[in-house]
Structure 1
Amino acid sequence: MTNRIAQAFERKKDGLLNIYFTAGYPTLEATGPLIETLAAAGADLIEIGMPFSDPLADGPVIQQSSTVALRNGMTLPTLFAQLRGIRQRVPDVPLLLMGYLNPVLQFGMERFCQEAAAVGVDGVILPDLPLVEYEEQYQELFRRYNLRPVFLITPQTAPERIRRIDDLTESFLYLVSGPGTTGSGATQAEGVQEAYFQRIAAMNLRNPRLIGFGIADKASFDRACGYAEGAIIGSALIRALEGQQDAPAAATKFVASILK
Structure 2
Amino acid sequence: MSRIAARFSKLKTEGRGAFIPFLEAYDPDLATSTAILHGMPGAGADLIEIGMPFTDPMADGPTIQTAGLRGLKAGATLPKTLTMVSDFRTHDADTPVILMGYLNPILSYGADKFCADAAKAGVDGLIVVDLPSEEADWLAGAAAANALDIIRLVAPTTDDARLPQVLNGSSGFVYYVSIAGITGTRTATAEHLAAAIPRVRRATDLPIAIGFGIRTPAQAAEAARAADAVVVASALIDTLAASLDPEGRAAANSVQLVLDQVRGLAEAVRSVAK
TM range (shorter): over 0.9
* 2:64 counterpart (39, 62, 65): 62
Q: Which residue of 1 aligns with 2:41?
A: 39
Quick check: 2:119–2:146 contact (8 Å CA) kept in 1? yes
Quick check: 2:190–2:223 contact (8 Å CA) kept in 1? no
Q: Which runs of 5+ in 2 are unaligned?
A: 245-249, 268-274
Separation in structure 2 between the aligned mates of residue 189 and residue 45 of structure 1, nearest angstrom: 24
Separation in structure 2 between the aligned mates of residue 87 and residue 48 of structure 1, nearest angstrom: 14
Separation in structure 2 between the aligned mates of residue 15 and residue 95 of structure 1, nearest angstrom: 17
CA 1:71–1:190: 2 relative to 1, 3 Å: same
> Percent identity of the aligned residues?
34
List aligned pairs for 1:125-204, cutoff 5 A.
Answer: 125-135=127-137, 137-186=138-187, 188-201=188-201, 203=202
1:90 maps onto 2:89 in alignment = no
Deviation at 1:125, TM superposition (A): 0.4
Write the deviation string for residues 15-42 of structure 1: whole angstroms up to 9, x where unpaired. 2101111000021333332221011111
SS at match of 2:210: strand
Quick check: 1:50–1:99 contact (8 Å CA) kept in 2? yes
Quick check: 2:43–2:266 contact (8 Å CA) kept in 1? no
Deviation at 1:251, TM superposition (A): 2.3
Report the residue type matching 1:216 in the other structure: R
Quick check: 1:15–1:222 contact (8 Å CA) kept in 2? no
Deviation at 1:77, TM superposition (A): 1.9
Separation in structure 2 between the aligned mates of residue 55 and residue 133 of structure 1, nearest angstrom: 19
1:247 maps onto 2:248 in alignment = no
Number of corresponding residues: 256
Report the residue type matching 1:199 in the other structure: R
1:106 maps onto 2:113 in alignment = no
SS at match of 2:50: strand
Write the deviation string for residues 174-208 of structure 1: whole angstroms up to 9, x where unpaired. 0011211111122x45433432223223x152101
Separation in structure 2 between the aligned mates of residue 155 and residue 83 of structure 1, nearest angstrom: 32
SS at match of 2:223: helix
Separation in structure 2 between the aligned mates of residue 177 and residue 215 of structure 1, nearest angstrom: 9
SS at match of 1:215: coil
Quick check: 2:4–2:124 contact (8 Å CA) kept in 1? yes
1:76 maps onto 2:78 in alignment = yes
Deviation at 1:238, TM superposition (A): 0.5
Deviation at 1:214, TM superposition (A): 0.5
* 2:24 counterpart (13, 22, 25): 22
Write the deviation string for residues 125-167 of structure 1: whole angstroms up to 9, x where unpaired. 00101112113x2222111111111110011112233223434
CA 1:193–1:229: 2 relative to 1, 3 Å: closer
CA 1:138–1:231: 2 relative to 1, 3 Å: same
SS at match of 2:49: strand
Deviation at 1:232, TM superposition (A): 0.5
Quick check: 1:4–1:92 contact (8 Å CA) kept in 2? yes
Quick check: 2:164–2:203 contact (8 Å CA) kept in 1? no
Q: Which runs of 5+ in 1 are unaligned?
A: none
Q: Which residue of 1 aligns with 2:120?
A: 118
Report the residue type matching 2:62 in the other structure: P
Deviation at 1:104, TM superposition (A): 1.1
Indicate the RMSD between aligned Cα atoms, in angstroms.
Answer: 1.6
Quick check: 1:172–1:210 contact (8 Å CA) kept in 2? yes
